[in-house]
Amino acid sequence: MQPLDNHAIILEMQATGKEGALRELAALAATRCGRCTAETLYTILLEREAIGSTGVGNGVAIPHGKVAGLDDILLCFGRSRDGIDFDAIDSRPVHLFVLLLSPASKAAEYLKALARVSRILKNETTRQELLASSSPEAIVSLFEAGPPGF
């Protein structure tokens, strides 16, 4: 899995709705994966959202999907200080987005990455630190450290 890096972070998302957030994250991911277009990634994310919202509650969404032609698992992060209505399971706005894309051939690694991201974002202190972080480097450090007790 590629670690989260400074160039895969949006400190202030411009989107105001769910589709806009998915488009913004897809555009960022397309710059990171090379062979994938933003439109292709957006379609994959939209299809996954049709199954059920990836807004997991507590101001967090983890949009994810499997992408043909992707070489490795890709992480991107986005933050909306205002919050975005994302049809989250708790009906609250989402402020923190972690996009997780994986090649279909890395199913086990994909599930481990999804579980790790979920554990990181489950911690309230970490969520508050992610909201307060003023630089991509600080956000990367929080993901590298993992959740407390990890």
Q: Could you give the residue numbers annotated as active site?
A: 64
Contacts of 148 (CB under 8 A, 6+ apart): 123, 125, 126
The burial class, CB within 10 Å (0-12 / 13-18 / 19+), for 32 is middle
State the Cα–Cα distance between residues 129 and 53, nearest whole angstrom: 24
**Contact indicator for 118, 147 with CB cutoff of 8 Å:** no
**Contact indicator for 5, 25 with CB cutoff of 8 Å:** no
